[in-house]
Structure formats: structure tokens, C-alpha cells
Amino acid sequence: MSRRKSIEVSAIIPFYDTPEDFLREAVASVLEQTSVTMELLLVDDGSGSAISSVAMGLAAGSGGQVRYLTHPDGRNRGISATRNLGVAEAQGEYVAFLDSDDVWVPGKLSEQLDIFRQTPQADMVFGLSEYWYDWSPVSGPASTLIPDIGAKRCRLIQPPTFVSDFLRGRIIVPNPSNLMVRRSAYLDCGGFEESFPGMYEDQVFFAKLGLERGVCVVPRRWDKYRQHQRSVTAQARESSSEDAARRRFLLWLMDYCRSRGLDRPEIREAIAKELWLCKSSAKTRPDPAGRRSRWRRKWLLRMEELLIPARLRQRLWDRRTDL
């Protein structure tokens, strides 16, 4: 009797009332991955019956490769709890997330597995995302953007540098649909924080992992990150709640570092500077004048980092009490 091959990667798609065509496209991009032994978990975050039935149908017709999961109480519990449920049921050595309105490019999983084999010190691998602004098949050529700040060469980033770098904008913040992570490292750091059900839930997770684990960045495009008005980020910007969400994340991170004994001066400095920017933003209007004011403050911080030695900067920011 032939022995079943072990699962290398568990692909996890959390969804909540996702448009059917988005979900089907996301699922297709996973099932088209080659040269990897994988499973796909569709994790329902309390969707209505119509899209839930679509997901159950996709699982039923997959020959066992796709599984459908939902929270025991069937309620909407947020993206963090939904991803955690998927990982709890996953069987793969590695986990890769895909938001239900995004898609993977061909070869994504096999290329990331190769990076893990070449870089055993890494517990998370990520690359470039294509920001996909025009997703309608009838509206002409797509408008896209591929940010690559800090990701122009393949490198292993030791802790806690990745965290201080993404806080200060020195490296792109990974799209959750882009990364792959060792399941053991995910579980060791506690996964996603369920008290962050939406905004900044990704950066909370990246901070928890990056403070203590190696992260590998690769200059390859691995996903298409769909931009649309129903996304969490778009809704936050529309309601002007993004700065408040960022300040909550930064205060959480400050407390988390203290509780874990992770007292690193570069992290304290990064948090203090970002809290100052958030406080400054709260005093300005969400119009061009307000944006120019924020830009000037960022420029001052960049000049400070060029002109003042790191140890002196860190002491100065540690003394600030008005954040």
C-alpha cells in the first residue's frame, strides 16, 4: 500500500461575505500551485448562507484537497480569530494565508519553500505584492503598483531589526497574502491577536514574530493585492480612523515588549517616533495642509537619524513624556 505524502503547506483563506467571483478566483490561484504537497482550508467568519454554500461546494468537489471550516458558534469573530482557527486545523509544516479578495501568482508556494530550504534560520518568508487597483475585466488595462522599499535584495533579517524597520517605513509591511511562515513559529508566538479583529492585526503578528525570529525578504512578486472600497483599509481611511488604529497598535506593542522583557532601544525609539507622528496627525486636518505637516515631521525625523548618533537619539526619545 502506498503511503500518503505528508502535507508541506496549508493554504488558508479566511472569508466573510466575499463576492463569489473574488472567492472563486482566490481558490483557483491556490489550486493552480504546482510542485508542492498542499491542502486548502476555507475558513468562514460567519458569512451569509449564499457565499457559505459556495465555499462548501468548492470543498465538496475538491476530492479532499479543500476543507471548509467555520467558528463553532457560527458568529463573525474577525480576521485574527479566523486565521487562528485555520492554523489550529492545519496539517502542513508551513502556513500561507490568502485573503479572499487577493490572488497568488503561479509558483508562489514552491518558490517560498525553496527559500526556506536555502535559509533554515528564517521562520517567515515574504516578498513583493502587486497592488491591484483595477480589477474589473471590462475596464481596460489594470493600474498596478509594486512597492519594494527595503526589499530590493534577498536577505535574512535578524530580530528585532525587521520590527524597527517596518515601524519606521524602512521596509515594506508584508501583505498577509504574500507571506509563508513555519507553523511551529506561528504557534510559539501565539498567532494573531484576537483583540485586533481588523486594522493592524497583521502588524501585531509581524511584531510578535519578528521580535524573536528571523525573517527573510525576497525581491519576487508573489501575490496580487486587490484594492477596492470594501476593504478594511479603505473603510478606515474613509472614516479617518487609521491614525487611531495605529496609535492603539503602538501602545499595545509598547506593553507587549515590556511584558516579554524585550527591552530593545531601537524598538523603543521607533515606537516613540511613531506615537509622536500619530499625535501630530490628530492635531492636523485630514486635508493637503495636514498631509504636508505630517510630511515635514517625517522629514525632520529622517534628518535627525542622519545627523544624531543612535545612542543619543534613543536617550532623547526615552525622555519624552508627552506621547
Q: What is the CATH number of the domain that holds 148?
A: 3.90.550.10
Do 83 and 129 reside in the same domain of the chain?
A: yes
In a domain, 1, yes or no: no
* Beta bridge pairs of residue 217: 126, 155
Do 153 and 51 reside in the same domain of the chain?
A: yes
In a domain, 307, yes or no: yes
Do 135 and 226 reside in the same domain of the chain?
A: yes
Q: Are 9 and 180 in contact (CB under 8 A)?
A: yes
What is the reported pLDDT for 252?
96
Among residues 188, 206, 234, the one where a domain terminates is 234
State yes or no: pLDDT of 321 exceeds 50: yes
Please return the burial class of 95, using the count of CB atoms within 10 Å of its CB with bins 0-12, 13-18 and 19+: buried
State yes or no: pLDDT of 137 exceeds 90: no
Do 175 and 290 reside in the same domain of the chain?
A: no
State yes or no: pLDDT of 287 exceeds 60: no
Which of 103, 28, 20 shows the shortest CA–CA distance to 66? 28
**Least confident span in 78-82, 203-207, 281-285, 291-295:** 281-285
Can you state the angle between helices 79-89 and 201-210, rounded to 10 degrees?
Answer: 50
Between CA 71 and CA 187 the distance in angstroms is: 19
State yes or no: pLDDT of 108 exceeds 50: yes
Do 226 and 244 reside in the same domain of the chain?
A: no
**Considering all CA atoms of the chain, what is the largest pairwise distance in Å, rounded to the nearest integer?**
71
What is the reported pLDDT for 316?
82
Between CA 33 and CA 13 the distance in angstroms is: 15
Do 168 and 266 reside in the same domain of the chain?
A: no
Range of the domain at 99: 9-234
In a domain, 16, yes or no: yes
Q: Are 277 and 322 in contact (CB under 8 A)?
A: no
In a domain, 3, yes or no: no
Among residues 234, 250, 275, the one where a domain terminates is 234
**Mean pLDDT of the 275-283 span:** 72
**Mean pLDDT of the 161-184 span:** 96
State yes or no: pLDDT of 138 exceeds 80: no
**Mean pLDDT of the 79-106 span:** 97
Do 283 and 196 reside in the same domain of the chain?
A: no
The fraction of the chain above a pLDDT of 70, given in percent, is 86
Question: Within 13 Å of residue 132, how many CA atoms lie on the same side as its CB?
Answer: 22
State yes or no: pLDDT of 234 exceeds 80: no
Do 304 and 169 reside in the same domain of the chain?
A: no
Do 142 and 276 reside in the same domain of the chain?
A: no
Do 168 and 309 reside in the same domain of the chain?
A: no
Between CA 273 and CA 168 the distance in angstroms is: 8
Identify the DSSP state of 319.
Answer: T
Do 299 and 158 reside in the same domain of the chain?
A: no
What is the reported pLDDT for 297?
85
Instruction: Please count the structural domains in the chain.
Output: 2
pLDDT single digits (tens) 191-215: 999 999 989 999 999 999 999 999 9
Phi-psi region of 177 (alpha: psi -120 to 50; beta: other; left: phi over 0): alpha
What is the reported pLDDT for 236?
45
What is the reported pLDDT for 299?
87
State yes or no: pLDDT of 33 exceeds 80: yes
* Beta bridge pairs of residue 228: none
Do 195 and 271 reside in the same domain of the chain?
A: no
What is the reported pLDDT for 57?
97
Q: Are 270 and 160 in contact (CB under 8 A)?
A: no
What is the reported pLDDT for 233?
53
**Mean pLDDT of the 251-261 span:** 94
Among residues 190, 217, 234, the one where a domain terminates is 234
What is the reported pLDDT for 3?
42
Compare 224 and 243 and report the one with higher pLDDT.
224
